[in-house]
Amino acid sequence: MKIISLVPSITETLFDFGLNPDQIVGRTKFCIHPEEKIKSVEMIGGTKNLNIEKIKALKPDLIIGNKEENTKEQVEILMKEFKVWITDIQNLEDNRNFISELGYILQQQPVAEKINSETEEIFSEFEIENRRKAAYLIWKNPYMTVGSDTFIHDIMQKLGFENIFRNQLRYPAITHDDLRNTEYILLSSEPFPFREKHAEELKKILPETKIILVDGEAFSWFGSRPSKSGAYYRSLLESL
């Protein structure tokens, strides 16, 4: 089976299932893991700017994308000629189902069971007594955060954070004033690459709030990534 992945976390997951570059025949320019293997896979554009002609030339048996990451118009073009699986992962339960279905398609059910088991074991470690009020920022100018129908929100909940924007959906734009009642602000490394200088800017405006730089991949990448992020999650929570 020749597969094209339209999402970085899906590409990583396919490699974690044991596939090789002969089977993963196409990936986006944002697919960066695993670094030692990814370079030998043909690039087919960006997640929202796919090179349709290059994809057609690769003649894949299956294309795997994501409702949020890829554009509907381009996906519909591909669906006319190829089998396209568009995932929609809003929480860890969706992720579990995705891994299980992928294992069935790849005839790698034991690998799927292992990934799901490791993921469940990681999150079962965290005993949540008092939730920490937090906001997770993904963008600057304007600041943008996450609502309750996002994968990031579910990861926050599982780690003991109370998303102060849980009553909103998707990725609302917010202001400094909207952040004044939170204990923690989590600044993601992606899609906007927040750095220490951005944390310092916020500290001047919100001196009482704890502002922390976090690994965006550990919070937003679905697939196999959560099963490999236990050490990071533990370190993050210990630092609080």
Largest CA distance in the chain: 56
* pTM of the full structure: 0.94
User: Residue 184's beta-bridge partner residues?
Assistant: 134, 210
For helices 109-124 and 230-239, the axis angle rounded to 10 degrees is 10
At residue 161, the pLDDT reads 97
**pLDDT given at position 21:** 86
End-to-end CA distance of the chain: 45
DSSP letter for 139, please.
B
pLDDT the model gives residue 90: 96
What the block records as the tokens of 149 is 């129908």
Strands of 42-43's sheet, edge to edge? 42-43, 24-27, 3-5, 62-66, 84-87
Q: Give the separation between CA 165 and CA 231, rounded to whole angstroms.
A: 27
Bridge partners of residue 136, in order along the sequence = 186
Percent of residues, the chain, with pLDDT higher than 90: 95
Predicted local distance difference test score (pLDDT) of residue 188: 98
Contact status, residue 42 vs residue 54, Cβ threshold 8 Å = yes
Q: pLDDT tens digits for 84-137?
A: 999 999 999 999 999 999 999 999 999 999 999 999 999 998 888 789 999 999
E strands of 13-145, at which residues? 24-27, 42-43, 45-46, 49-50, 62-66, 84-87, 132-137, 143-144
Please give the pLDDT value at position 128.
81
Helix (H) or strand (E) holding 210: strand 210-214
What is the spatial distance between Cα 113 and Cα 169, in angstroms, rounded to a whole number?
A: 31
Which amino acid appears at position 61 of this protein? D
Which residue ranges of the chain lie beneath pLDDT 50?
A: none
